[in-house]
Amino acid sequence: MRANATLPGVPMPKESAPDGGPDQDACYERLRELIGQLQMLDRQVFLLYLEDVDAAAIAGIVGIAPGNVATKVHRIKALLVRQFHARETP
């Protein structure tokens, strides 16, 4: 998995539960849930990105331009951050 794949503003599980406790599991489950709600193309692009597939290869697999891959990844990250925090707000 991509070593530097972070979502700014989303606490990394190790920050919230260094011992791998329930907070870590909850963060991962929430992110899995949010990724699962993405449109199919966005989900494919993001999962390939998380698997460390380069933009050119992702573009070839899903049938879009490599530049669009980078744009999609950036927008998907921003969307996931917003959705992750939306649930936390009372």
Q: What is the pLDDT of residues 24-62, one digit of tens each?
A: 888 889 999 999 999 999 999 999 999 999 999 999 999
Band the pLDDT of 70: cuts 50, 70, 90: very high
Whether 2 has a pLDDT exceeding 80, the answer reads no
Tokens, residue 25: 């599991």
**What domains appear along the chain, each with residue ranges and CATH number?**
13-86 (1.10.10)
Largest CA-CA distance found in the chain, in angstroms, rounded:
42
